Each structure stands twice: as C-alpha cells, then as structure tokens.
A and B are shown apart, each in its own frame.
Chain A
Amino acid sequence: MKKTLLACLILSFIDFIYAVNDDLILEDKFPKKLSSFSFFQDNSAQFPSDGVLPYELISALFSDYSYKQRWVYIPKGVQASFRQDEVFDFPVGSALIKTFYYPIDERDLNLGQRLMETRLLLRKENGWEAVSYAWNDTQDEAFIKKAGKTILNEWIDFNGDTRSVRYRVPNKNQCKECHANNDAMSPIGPKARNLNKVFQYSDESINQLTKWMKLDFISTVSEELNTPVDWNEKNYLLDERARSYLDINCGHCHSSSGAANSTGLYLNLTETREKHIGIYKKPVATGRASGNLKYSIVPGKPEESILLQRMISTDPGIMMPESGRSLSHTEAIELIEKWILSL
C-alpha cells in the first residue's frame, strides 16, 4: 500500500515536471529562460515533453543552412481549425516551437550539433506573439534575446568544407517583419498543405494530418489542399519546385496582404498574374538593389532578372530576404536560374 502511494506520488511528480506550463504561455511577460515553459524534458537533447509533437514542412524557409526542428503544442481539450490556404487557426494557449541548429559535420550527424536559438510563437488571448531564446555555450539553457543576438558559428558541410556563418537571432520586431499578415502576427509554416506528408514519429510512420486528427489536434481538413512540392525534390516539375520555393521563402511578405505588398511583387503560390509574379515587372522603390536591371524577371534571362540577383547578393542594401539570411542559397539560386531560363 505504501509502495503504491509512493509510486503514485513519484508518477504525479514526473507528470508535473514534464507537463508544459500552460499558464506561462498566456502571461504578458516572457520568462528569461526557455526551460520555464517545460516544452522539453531534456533541453540539450531537445527531447519534448508530453503533448509537444514534432512536425515537418514540405518546403521550408532558407535560414543560412541552419537545420530546424519544429514542434507544436495544443492544450488538452481544445482544437485547431482548418482554413483553406491559410495556417490552421490554433486555439488560445497553443505554441509553435522551432529550434535552429547546425550539425558539427553534415556528413555524420552523430557527431552532434550546436543549438543556436529556439523561436516561439505563442497564441495568447489577443493573438500571436513571437519571442526567441538563444542557447548558451554549454547548450543546457536558452535565454531570452529581445534585441536579437549575433552568433558566429562554423560547421563542416556535405563536401567536407568548413563553412562559417554570422548567424543572427532576430529581435522581436524582426519576427513581425515576416510574420505580420494584415498587421496581425501569424504563423507561416503550418498550413494543412505544408504538413500533408508522412512523418516518422517515435511510435509510427504516418501522414502528419492523420496524426493530428488521431490526437484530436484537429477534426477535419479539406480534400483539396493544393499541396506544394518539396522544392528540393528533383522529380517534380521545375515550375512547381520554383514556385514552391518562392512561396515559402518570399510569399509571406510578397503577397497582397503581406508586409511587402507595396512593391506589387507577389510570390505566393496562389498568385497567377504574370506581371505580379515579376515577369517584365519594373521595380518600384528598389533603389540600388535593382543592380542596373530593368525587370524583376526577364524570361530566359536570369542574368537580367532582379529577383535572382537579389537572391545571389549578400549586401544588406540589396539582398532578399531582408533578414534571416547572410549566406547565398546556392542550390535555390540554381533552381531559380533554371526556372527563369525555362520561362
């Protein structure tokens, strides 16, 4: 009897430790330490707490070759609801958690990794709020960095070359630069269409949307999802791959409701008007970033297309996206170059 009681006590204690701190998600102020939220049972290993579910996107934003691991948390008893072509409408108390890291050596992931930051999007009563926590050198805690932080990092890439990056943890305002949609903060990635793929969970391999339904995270999704292709998957059509890349990397700002709508350049997947996709579109307030070129995209002529030249540049007055990138994305540049040649 005593033993059972003790076991119960220990169990409930464990449960207490590993449960996400629901109240903290809703509070006005952010805690100094990431661990206060209890999203992870083990910080260094990035092992999630109960109810914190990993997910992947079909096509992801380029962030200076960093790797990303994503988790979603939805409080018990409430659900996210499906919206066509939009991110799920997550209930108050939800959290989206994304850790950025570099492997020590991309050729052998078992050699370990260096955690850079964990970004949170928290669904509070009045909407989403963003905050980032930068990992310490000992990699056992991450601390809030409202004003952002610069981290110098080196890693060995697939070719065995040592690469270096001046990695920027964004400040709170920079989060909004990308995440503002019609002036309200919003997640970008977790649209049903971006999640519509099989994922290897710890217990099973299954489509992520099916898993979310099994867990009662959501109750329904549409049959017509306009699922994008993985831009990096060469079996798909060039046009689909290019538009998919531009959608996830540019479309959150470059859409008629995004932060860059004043440019008239709309790169979201649902845009169909050639001029607004950039074809023979003159720059508006581009300044020197036009690089002496006349149009965003000149079909067949990548070297005359402003869009590609701004992807190539690492000059802050020229490059796109404006933040979150300090290196050129060589593989994507090749893709967009081929795409413009094919137009």
Chain B
Amino acid sequence: MQNLLLITLLVISSLSLSSKQVVLGPSPDSQEEIQEALIDLEPGDVLTLKSGEYFFEDGISLDVDDVIFEGSGINETILNFGSQVSGAQGLLVTSNGVTIRDFAVLDAKGDAIKVIGADGINMVRLRTEWQGGPKETNGAYGFYPVESKNVLIDGCVAIGASDAGIYVGQSQHIIVKNSIAQYNVAGIEIENSFYADVFDNIASHNTGGILIFDLPDLPQQGGHHVRVFRNKAINNDTDNFAPEGNIVGEVPRGTGIIIQANSEVEVFDNDIYGNGTVNLSIVTYGYETEDENYNPHPKSIQIHGNRFGEGGFDPDVETGELASILFALSEGDMPDIFWDGILPTSQLILGQPDNEKLVMSNNGDATFLTLNPIKYMLPFFDPVERDIAEYDGEIRPLPPVVLN
C-alpha cells in the first residue's frame, strides 16, 4: 500500500508555497487513496485524477473548503460506482468554495453527485450517467446541490437519472448553463429555490425537459426569481420511469417546460418543440396541504420571445392527470402553452393584481389553452379559453443572477 502510494502519488509544489497539487492515477486501492487524499486536502489545494477508470465500492466525500477536485476530461477520467455496496451517493461535497471539474461519475447506486449545505460550489464539465439507459433502478439525481448558495453548473452532461438529471433544491443564487440533460425523467429541475438562471442548455429525450417546482412542508419554500432562457427544451419523448411517490412521477412523457407554484419566473428566447404532450405548462400544486405558509399557485410568470414548434401530437395520458385533462379539455387540439387558470379564492372574486398576472408576448404563433374557473363552476358555460392575445403585456425583465 505505502509503496503504491509513493509510486502513484506525486506532490508538486505549485506557485503558492502553502497550496499543493496532489496527482493520483488508477490503482487497486483507488477507493482509499482518493478518499484519504480528499480528507487530507487543505484550502487552496488541488487533487487531480489522471485519465483512466477508477472503481469504487463505497461513496467518496469532500469536506474541505476552497479546494479543486479535478479529472482530466469528461470522457477521460471515469469514476465508476457500478459495484457500489455502501453510500447513498457517488460523490458527496459538504464544504464551501469547492470546484469539481472534468470527470464522469457513472452508475452510482443512489445520487451521482450530491452537494449539501455549501456556499460556493462550481460543477464544471462533469458527466453523470447511468449506462444502462433509462431504468427505474437508476439513481435519483445526477447533479444534486441542496441547501446551498452560489451554485454553478456549467458545461455538464446528465444522462439516465430516474428523477432529475440536474436538480437544484432549496438553494439560492444558482446558474445552470451550457449543459445537456438527456434520458432522465426530468432534465433540469429547480425546486424550492430562489434566484436561478437556467440558460444555453439542451434538455432533450427526457420525460420532461425543464421543471420549475415548489413543494410544501420544507425548510425553504416559495420558489421565486427564476429565469429560463436560450435553452432548447426539445424532443422530450422518454416514458416516465420514475418510481411512484415522487413529484416527477406525475410528469407526462413529452413535456417541454413546467412551471409549478413559483413566482417571478421569466421564460424567454427558448426553442421548445417536439414535446408530445405539451410544450409548456403552468400549473398549481395539485395536492392538499395543511402548510399555511405555502402558496400553491404560480404567479408573476412571463413567457416571451420563445420559438414554439410541434407539440401535443402524442399526449401521454397514462402518466399523471395533466395529459388526460388537457386532452379532454382541448378535444384533441392540444395547445403549446397550458395554464390551469387556478387562482386563490380571494382573487377569483376580487381579481388578480396586475403584477401577478401571467404575461405572454411575442411567442410566434404559439397556441394557448386555459380554464376560466368561474365559468368552470357554472353550468352552460364553456370554461376553455384559447386567446393568447389577451395575455399580451409589457415585460418586466428580472435581474440576472450574480454569483459571489
């Protein structure tokens, strides 16, 4: 062991006298060597893994602030967890100011990369993948930062997660960009989070492309200030393979973007097409909750300048209720954009404040469908409304997210 360590472990003193770079290559003792190196890092240090495949039976974790953990490329340095027997994730990061980059985490038994409670986490040019294709037995999340601040996901690839490829939960100040999410149940999901910019990503061949969700009974809720722009939410055509019980299990195959129970969400300049159920839907949280602090309704949603293409051609009425309700309401003429029209009771009577109203402008010839809840409750009225022009309005751009 000691000899092996000496052979494979090179300690190179870098520019700064205090910080060091540790370089490791694949070895039969990779599990212990890498874990020990991660524990022994000090702020400012870099741990570099050479090209090659590294095999793990247990999860590994990093809990040192201000370090870099890097590989030699998204296809060159492979962290293989296919034989994992313990640990709820492949890689766990619990410290602040960490950069992880240039490697792949494959076939983790639970989540691939989980980051919890970090202030400052940069995930750059990483890949998380379950190699057997979409399967219920795949781990839940590829990228899973939670309860974190200043989260950057840049140039990453997420494939095959049985929940969400890229999932940011209960976090603040988030940028997800230049990334690709494919063959997951949800491609990119921003949940119970504040101040997120999601742009220049491709979400394709998932069940649903991009999800902006909020759930009750959690320490951080009331998701707000989310910008989704210049993405391609296209050809999301994978059957939902999430285990039941999870919120994404309700997402019908062929969903481009869903906004649920958030406020201040701006969706613009995206390409949204090839989604067999619906390109974009804006919905209320669909379950009863006793959480008095929870607002189940989406509000202050702005949809503008998007390019919608073919959608709704193959609605997945088998999964959840959305597709079958929409199919019945539209009598088969499925819209590009669906809003369930549900408002808080007080607003049904008094009307919705202007700044909370749904605004949709310059979306080409996108079609629309919503329900008028008053007409819905009365006999002899058709509650279905389709005139998108009624929602035309001035856009109040949200400020860009700035990471510290």
Contacts and interface: CB of A to CB of B under 8 A. Distances in A.
A290 B116 contact: no
B336 interface: no
B217 A275 contact: yes
Interface stretch (A14-22, A188-196, A218-226, A314-322): A314-322
A294 interface: yes
A287 B162 contact: yes
B245 A285 contact: no
B141 A285 contact: yes
B218 to A, nearest CB: 5
Interface stretch (A1-9, A41-49, A172-180, A242-250): A172-180
A173 B61 contact: yes
B196 interface: no
A177 B86 CA distance: 14
Interface string B133-162: 000111111001011000000000000011
A150 B243 CA distance: 32
Contacts of B343: none
A146 B64 CA distance: 14
Given A285-B169, A286-B140, A288-B136, A174 B243 contact: no
Main secondary structure of the interface of B (DSSP, over half): loop
B106 to A, nearest CB: 14
Contacts of A294: 244-245
A222 B137 CA distance: 50
A112 interface: no
A259 interface: yes
Contacts of A323: 86-88
Instruction: Name the interface size band of chain A.
Output: 35 or more
B63 interface: yes
Given A173-B39, A276-B217, A290-B246, A285 B140 contact: yes
A183 interface: yes
B137 A288 contact: yes
Given A264-B217, A282-B287, A293-B245, A287 B169 contact: no
Nearest to A281: B217
A146 B246 contact: no
A287 to B, nearest CB: 2
A200 B244 CA distance: 51
A287 B87 CA distance: 15
A288 B138 contact: yes
B140 A316 contact: no
A150 B59 CA distance: 13
A256 interface: yes
Which of A168, A285, A289 has its CB near the most chain B CB atoms (within 10 A)? A285
Given A173-B92, A176-B94, A316-B109, A288 B219 contact: no
Contact of A287 (B40, B84, B163): B163
A292 interface: yes
Contacts, number: 142
Given A166-B85, A173-B92, A259-B116, A287 B140 contact: yes
Interface in B249-289: 287
A283 interface: yes
B245 A283 contact: yes
Contacts of A286: 140, 245-246
B141 A287 contact: yes
B61 A316 contact: no
Contacts of B139: 287-288, 317
Contacts of B220: 262
Contacts of B309: none
Contacts of A290: 243-246
A175 to B, nearest CB: 10
Nearest to A263: B218
A293 B140 contact: no
Interface in B83-125: 84-88, 92, 94, 108-111, 116-117
A106 B246 CA distance: 42
A139 interface: no
A147 interface: yes
B371 to A, nearest CB: 25
20 contacts: A150-B58, A166-B86, A173-B61, A176-B94, A177-B61, A177-B92, A180-B94, A183-B117, A262-B219, A264-B219, A281-B217, A282-B215, A288-B136, A289-B110, A290-B245, A292-B243, A294-B245, A316-B109, A317-B108, A317-B139
Interface of B: 31-33, 35-36, 38-40, 57-59, 61-63, 84-88, 92, 94, 108-111, 116-117, 136-141, 144, 146-147, 161-163, 167, 169-170, 191, 215, 217-220, 242-247, 287, 290-291
Given A262-B116, A285-B169, 5 more contacts: A148-B32, A287-B161, A288-B138, A316-B87, A317-B110
